[in-house]
Amino acid sequence: MLIIGPPGSGKGTQAERISERLGLAAISTGDIFRANVKGETRLGIEAKKYMDAGDFVPDSVTNKMVRDRLSEADVQDGFLLDGYPRTTAQVVYLDHIIAGKDDKLDVVLQLTADDEELVARLLGRAQETGRSDDNEAVIRHRLDLYHGQTEAVVATYAERGILVRVDGIGGIGEVTDGVMSILEDLLKVPVVNGR
């Protein structure tokens, strides 16, 4: 499963909650990059300059990182990928990884929200957590990339008939419950609601 949404749509929060309920390994490319920045690894030092500017980390770096993560043992029974793919080239690469595992994507969840709501949310988050990419100019640039590049990714999955779109505005629990009831119908899996 994939979760896609603009910056500030709550995809990280929802990815954690949904993966827990479905018993899937959650993988966030943004979190992996931030852990590497914190640990001052080579990958982190390379990624930081792009992240601070709100740019995508180059595919040559990101694709390999995702491929390596998806080869680990905990994802072999399924995974929820948050923040990847964001470009059509990444879609092609992910298709190639998944085909190599003789697996398939079941569902792509898109969280939607209005741009001005997102900017307000992220400016609020900046005051609490001080993420280095949460200032207004960088936030607007990240939104532009989402509209310019990642919406094409969403369109690809819509054409494949596996896209589910959910409004990301609302309480955290409300959004999770909305997503879970759709997934329950779609995947025909028993899910525990209201936890």
Handedness of CA 35, 41, 42, 46 (dihedral sign): positive
Question: Does position 84 bind ligand ADP by CB under 6 A?
Answer: yes
Residue 14 within binding range of ligand ADP, rule CB under 6 A: no
Task: State how far the alpha carbon of 162 is from the alpha carbons of 21, 104, 165, 195, in Å.
Answer: 20, 11, 10, 26
- Tell me: does residue 157 bind ligand ADP (CB under 6 A): no
| Residue 54 lies near ligand ADP (rule: CB under 6 A) | yes
Instruction: Tell me the window of 48-56, 96-104, 107-115, 175-183 that interacts with ligand ADP (CB under 6 A).
Output: 48-56
131 is catalytic: yes
125 is catalytic: yes
Measured in degrees and rounded to the nearest 5, phi and psi for residue 74 equal -70, -10
When binding is defined by CB under 6 A, the residue of 2, 142, 166, 183 that contacts ligand ADP is 142
Distances (CA, A) of 104 to 2, 19, 155, 159: 11, 17, 18, 16
Nearest-angstrom CA–CA distance, 103 and 76: 9
Specify the stretch interacting with ligand ADP by CB under 6 A; choose among 26-34, 67-75, 109-117, 166-174. 26-34
Which residue is it, tokens 């900017």? 119
Query: Which tokens hold the place of 39?
Result: 């640990």
The verdict on 33 binding ligand ADP (CB under 6 A) reads yes
| Residue of 21, 69, 86, 121 interacting with ligand ADP (CB under 6 A) | 86
> CA–CA separation, 125 vs 147, rounded Å?
21
Annotation marks residue 11 as catalytic: yes
Let me know if 165 is a catalytic residue.
no
Active site residues: 11, 86, 125, 131, 142
Chain residues that interact with ligand ADP, rule: CB under 6 A: 7, 29-30, 33, 50-51, 54-57, 62, 83-84, 86, 90, 133, 142
